[in-house]
Structure 1
Amino acid sequence: MDLPLLFALVAAGAVVIYVLADGFDLGVGILFLFAPRDADRDMMMASVEPVWDGNETWLVMGGTLLLAAFPAAYYVLLPALYLPVVFMLFALIGRGIAFAFRLQTVRFRVVWDVVFAGGSALAVFCQGLILGGLIGGIPMQDGMYAGGAFSCLTFLGVLCGAGLVGGYALLGAGWLIWKTDGATQVFAREIAHAALILTMGMMVLVSGWTALTEPEVARRWFEGWHLLYLAPIPLLTLGVAAGLWKSLWSEWEVGPFLLAIALFLLGFSGLVISLWPYVVPWQVTLWDGASDPQTLGFAVFGVVLVLPMVLAYQAHAYWVFRGKTRHLDAYGTQ
């Protein structure tokens, strides 16, 4: 059994689930201050409150798998991306506190509104900087990170950050269309158009800039016969985006959310094609950066034990809180 490849697939799966699951509740946070009424903001927060903390479990799992299975990647990537990682964690902590305190106050509610929205946007933008740093490559010398503390602050990272803000906002809008009704749903349908335009615009800019500035990525996509079998991915992405635009005012309420997920999965497939098989682009492959076989074999038992528990917990939470959101405020009135 190829254990490094197995753990790479599990880690990639954890990242995908995190992006999709935590993506929609971060997206709700990004849209929070754009909502026209305080009642809409109450409904928006209530729609994600039962599940948001479970969604972030996948972030912890992805980091743990990286440390256990690919320590070489961990000790190179962490110093390279230290600033966006730290700011992302503080932003996630801030929005978590806002969940607990917003409904407990009237006088300072606007403060917690800003913390919730700002923490969500900052966390997503930092994830974009991390993504841009990975695509741009990590400089190494003698097996160690060779760049500076601010090397992750690149133009490509800013583009990726803006694209993720738009993409997460699109996921959040799709979630609200599915889980709410009335004025809140109308708001979500309207703002989803702007989110989709921002997402697709940034996808085009990131793809173009990467093709021009990263020769390894350009070679994978455009050299020889590669273009022939990879062409369906961008074409399918455009088709999904067109279908998503059309679905925003349809009666198929779950449609925008599912199509937004499909858009993210297509984007992730493009990322995998661009970076495979490196865990530290373009320096360390999966097999060069993996732990020894004994460590990987022991870690398998942890994955087999923990993964079903996490999946069962989240499935139960989503099942219990299925259906439209009906918010009860702090005073117990609907």
Structure 2
Amino acid sequence: MYNALVSHRPKVVVIGGGTGLPVILKNLKDKHVDITAVVTVADDGGSSGIIRDYINVVPPGDIRNVIAALSELPETELELFQYRFDSKDSFFAGHAIGNLIIAALSEMEGGIFDAVQYLSQSMRVNGNIYPAANEPLELHAEFTDGSQLRGESEITAADKQIKRVWVTTRNNDGEPEAVQEVVDAILNADQIVLGPGSLFTSILPNLMIKNVGEAILESSADVVYICNIMTQKGETDNFTEADHVRVLNEHLGRNFVNTVLVNNKKVPEEYMDYQKWNEISQPVKHDFQGLRDMGCRVVSADFLELKERGAFHNGQEVADELINLIGRPNDY
């Protein structure tokens, strides 16, 4: 593996998916830490979903973005890996070159895990990238009205309040399971980071893999949740920070989140383009006491970055705080 691991570097495991995960990883890459990214494999949208419908591979989009974030290749080579065809061709249109490479390697190596390890070496990845499972998973949700749906895009589009989520293998031929490397990384971690990302469709799908959830509960690492800045339409409307953590705790059956990073910088209403960012609902409401009641240490700071008329996490500020937290006693 490029940039060989040094035993005394703190071990940080970041778990999630979506667009938020690469932002944090890119800024952690240059810190003196041993990074392992555990990436969701339950996505079913966009180019990733189309590829999965044609060939039975894990949707590669989130993995592609994480590889690019941790790669030490020159920018021009990363641009080629990330290039998305704008051709009018019915097959190539909208596909990213990296997605096609990952899909091809998955067939050649007999699974996504070995494919990603091979590609990580080729692309000089600084750290480890582990798909949460070695096969495509399907996300299921039960809503508060008792109805159920499967598939990430279907669940989000339903625009109903979600009660719980779980994952199954795509063929329902057994219980989803992470490879041993994922479990070992979690058990040996000094810090486990959840998010930022969609609560029900990017973070929880990983935790709902039984041996992943069990490893997190067994681990002695500080579990840090990076709370989203904005609620997500159809998933977390009207949620407070405490609501996000409550859902995480309920899914694993006990209070396991130790530390929560909360943005305290006000999002300017006049800046936001709600038509462009149509998934965004409103700023997540503060509930510091609710977090403390669940045993969480609250770190409140300006983690906001405004760009493209939207509100995002400032990756550098978040990464700096994660490093500050390593080795600091829990002062709940």
TM-score, normalized by length of structure 1? 0.28
Greater helix share, structure number: 1
Greater strand share, structure number: 2
Q: Which has the higher contact order (CA 8 A, sep 6+)?
A: 1
Query: Highest Rg: 1 or 2?
Result: 1
